[in-house]
Amino acid sequence: MLQPSPWRADFPAVAALHRQHQTYLDSAATAQKPQAMLDALARYYGGGAANVHRAQHVPGALATQAFEATRSALAAWTGGGEAQQFIFTHGATSALNLLAYGLEHGFEAGDEIAVSALEHHANLLPWQQLARRRGLRLVILPIDAQGRIDLEQALQLIGPRTRLLAVSQLSNVLGTWQPLAPLLAHARAQGALSVVDGAQGVVHGRPDLHQLGCDFYVFSSHKLYGPDGVGVLYGRQPALAHLKHWQYGGEMVHLAGYHEASFRPAPLGFEAGTPPVAGVIGLGATLAYLNGLDLSAVAAHEAALHRALCEGLVAREGVRLLGDPQVALASFVVDGVHTADIAHLLTEQGIAVRAGHHCAMPLLEQLGLGGAIRVSLGLYNDGDDLARFFDAFDHALALLR
């Protein structure tokens, strides 16, 4: 018998969705928000919104203080070092594009970029397009049957011409943790920079960026129970020095004239224009909320839910899991049944899951699939959610077979 989620009441949207007869199982796409975050947004907007860093008036000073407090909170929360190593963007995709353009000057024709075969489009297309612009070789690291990067082959493919390694920490399709430690160490030994897409991983395992040892780490606020429109880019100090400015405007300027200008270093030099002030402040409130949780209890709750999800799926005839999911989510197909039909019938019964290619078209193509159903979990889900899902799923299968 699965225990109820002790944190469910902290997320008012979950109760609101329940009143609408909706069961939300799509947290890998975006998570619901805690009341603490909603309160922070209401205080900021209701108490007087202002831009940051530029104004000397009291509202501007208070906004700047709250904004920069989130940067400090991120440094403490991730063990990443100094607050100035964290750049705010408008999403993880924005952060990865910042890296692709900001590092472009360091590549020469014939250099190599290594990415894995399971990457989200956000951690594939920026590097793919950089390779096209600069005449680079994009090396695809294969995965094994369990859905993990094949370490033996990867270590052979990452060589002296590799200038950058970009890999996900946790697959958004397969739910598998990737073998980052040996990959990052080997890339470093080859003189390559490393980028880790932590958009999924940061939610289900609080990162220690100092121990992880990557050059850059990227994640989005909205999957981490925070506001949307906010991304976080962490960089080691030596790695940040490699970045060239790629967007220009207010805030990032040091001195400007009509014919020339100089620009600030990280982080402000890479935060051109008005940043997502409210979102960053809301993210700070979310981090404070998460800091107050018993992380071992959260992990145990999520593990029990995930185990029940996977066991329930494989117990049903014709259901095939993709890979060997370890945490948070499971993607699957059903023999002889189209995923769109299953998704349609689940939606009609108020079950919110994700169907399609999950922004990983090359991976699904490699698996010989046109799409898959993904069920993903948040800390607010409980056994009743899974019971409703399986009831609806069984009803859909009975109609479609």
How far from 357 is each of 2, 27, 97, 150, 331, CA to CA, in Å?
Answer: 30, 16, 21, 22, 10
Token pair 């699965």: residue: 2
Catalytic residue among 37, 321, 353, 359: 359
To the query of whether residue 359 is one of the catalytic residues in this protein, the response is: yes
The first and second tokens of residue 58, run together, are: 């009291």
The number of CA neighbours under 13 Å toward the Cβ of 250 is 8
The first and second tokens of residue 134, run together, are: 């600069």
Q: How far is CA 368 from the centre of its chain?
A: 25
Catalytic residues: 359
